[in-house]
Structure 1
Amino acid sequence: MGFIKNSKFRAVIVLAFIVGIGVAPRAYSQDTITTAAQAVDTVAQVADTAVAVTDTTAAASDSAAVASDTAATPAASAGGSAATAVAVAEESGPNIDPQVYMNFFYGVLLVFLICVLVAVIGKIIQVYELTRRMNGKDTTYYMRNFNARLFIIALVLGLYGVYWSYVHHGGQAFRAAVTEHGARIDTMFIITTIICTIVLVVMHVAMFSFVYIYRARPTRKAYFYPHNNTLEKIWTIIPAVTLTILVLFGFFTWRSITNVSEEAQKEAILIEVVGEQFTWTVRYPGRDGKIGERDYRLTTPLNGLGIDFNDKNSWDDQLGTEIVIPVNKPVRFQIGSKDILHSFYIPDFRVQMNAVPGMKTYFQFTATMTTEEMRDKLGDYNYDFVMLCNKICGGGHYNMQKKVRVVTEEEYQAWLNEQPYFFTEDLRKEFQLTNAAKEEEDTNLLAQAN
């Protein structure tokens, strides 16, 4: 107990206890058969018996009408037995598998053993210190030297970890963009990564080296150095200037991507993407190249987007079962949401824009590589570009995605010709009935006014 109260390893014991809890098996994970489940089986068996009795009764009904009355009694009895079994099952509660308790006590034992191991190591170190003191050797500074060397080892291992992560994980985390504007974003990302890596390496080398170089020694006395204006200016001005440059770099890059001229907008194919929990709806313009207006007040079970069919531009709009765009041709996405905030995100294209309820947002880009070319480049012939939601929007967020295909112009036109129209025959009928009702209402209001 003296060790626990007085030693320097109390924090280590607490940490070991936390780690032990983390690695212990989940105490309450179970796969049991409850009494309620057994009762359900009993109910099913009784119900089958009742059905069999009823069938027998029905077969004998032509012979004697009394048999039907006689059979009704077992059926009722079966129903009563079933209800009784369910009531008993509900009252009895679950049956917990004994393995659950074994798992729990195994976890407690594991935590206890880890704590004992740490305590034993602490006692060994205490005995070692006492032995050195009895032999007249240093008992203060040798641990400082030991810890300082551990810092150097940690520095080397940490820098190697950075190198290993860049070499092995870099290819997974970063792949060249397949859009024109993506090259600018990649340049900005690489520059930011290089600067951050330099700061990471320099700062860690300095901190860990200072711990080793200026460790406590018998011949050295600590020097109190409270303030230095020159150092304060250096580590304030340099980061401030660097961050300002990076922010401005990002700002002008983003403006160059999102501020598209009106001429460039007219040349692009306009596609609407509307998000809702947890799906995307894609609308392509017809031959007129224009997308009809939407109004949430017009939303019906048939007209899920609330398309205003009084706008004739909407009559030839087409439903896209997937997102298909032609290569080397500008595409402008009109993005919206029906319920909450979503995010239109295509990682390979370096495209991301919020889908905001009641507000239109836009993102225009040009794809430079078809899906087939990307598959050949990666050697993965099942690879697809994917559009995701990049805002956590609920339980089905993980599955809110849409496949994106980049094809040639000829393939794009052939695919588009096969897509169905939004303005279906049922919607035409609903539209006509709605207009007729509105005209009748206007006529009645006009008559009342006169």
Structure 2
Amino acid sequence: MDLKKLVHPWKYPSVLLLGIGISNLGAWVYLIALNLMIFEITGSPLAIAVLYILIPLATMFTNFWCGSIVDRLNKRNMMIFLDIFRALCLFFVPWLLDVSLLLLYILVFLINMATSMFNPTSMVYITKLIPSEQRKWFNSLISLIDSGAFLLGPALAGLLFIIGTPKLGIIINAIALFLSGLITLLMPNVEKQSQTISNGEKLSMQLLKKDFQIVMNFSRKSVYIMLVYFLFSSVFVMTAAVDSLEAAFAKEVLSLSDSDYGFLVSIAGAGIIIGAFINTLFVKKMAISLMIGLGSIFVSVGYIIYAFSNSFIIAAIGFFILSLFLAFANTGFLTFYQNNIPEDVMGRIGSLYGLVEATFIIITTGIIALLAQIISIQFAVITGALVMLLLSVILCAFNLKSSKRNYYQPTTLEKQRGKHKFELL
């Protein structure tokens, strides 16, 4: 076997995964450090809550127009710019803490906006770079990296805080993002021959209306694809809403101490990393439809067990099950999305529907919180988990339709694109 021929096709994907890994680790350090610094200055849980509200708000403010830019600009160059922009903003965060909390929130909002733009940009770039035959495997590795960051990120943050201060953690993340941008410079320019980059169009309301119509036309012509997209997104909107009550549920319903709750979160982390590892081992043998459908159902079953629990052990079992199957569901959906959404409109579709998803997260989280306030926390969590399970069963029923099997396999066109992409590697 020629080792060079075996390694060469994974040269650029490996570099890309390295950049993703560095960025994800840095993001955890940044999140924990910023929480600690703001709480130390203000002593207010509300001040920290504002940080989490800024994330969906930035998505809502950004996504209705950023897709039009993403689909028209060079993706690699845009990723480099956004990484460096976020790195520069982060360098100013420690100093703004001592100046003005309002200015800090504005800067964090800008960072979140850049992240909201980066996500659809990187999705399109990955789709263009990775051949369809490799996507499941590549997406499984992304899930493994995300899982590793979930476990290693807080540990790295703790180590940095022992050595230095949370401010050092912020600076480290800025350096990580800058390195991520430099790593992206090593990646191939997959759009050298693209005709959509320099078409002379300027961002305007007329252009946004035109792009909105393009997305709507695609949605009408691709009802099944968008139905799967909507159902999968709805399942994970419910997970976000239920997760918002996680700490309150652990304290009020399960009567856990802080250390017990920390151990419960660690069990979820173990489930995530084990699930992601199993996913990478068997991903090539698993059908995308089963990964999405059954993966979502088992995630929901885990939430159901957790919602009806009245002890640490039962809650831990639920946490472990839902975490274990997250990687399967996410990998399957990402591959389905990449194989069925056209690359030239992927940015606009992802951004517009991401805006809808962020809106639903805010609304659903508000409803769940209201139910917890009016009735009880456990009733609210059970309601959310049951709705999630219902959506998962409907999603699975659509996934497993034999007449829709072609949506879960690379088409002839995709295979031709895949061969072309291998030439870039």
Provide TM-score, normalisation by structure 1. Answer: 0.21
Where is the helix percentage greater, Structure 1 or Structure 2?
Answer: 2
Q: Whose relative contact order is higher, 1 or 2, with alpha carbons under 8 Å and at least 6 apart? A: 2
Question: What is the TM-score when the length of structure 2 is the normalising length?
Answer: 0.22
Larger radius of gyration between Structure 1 and Structure 2: 1
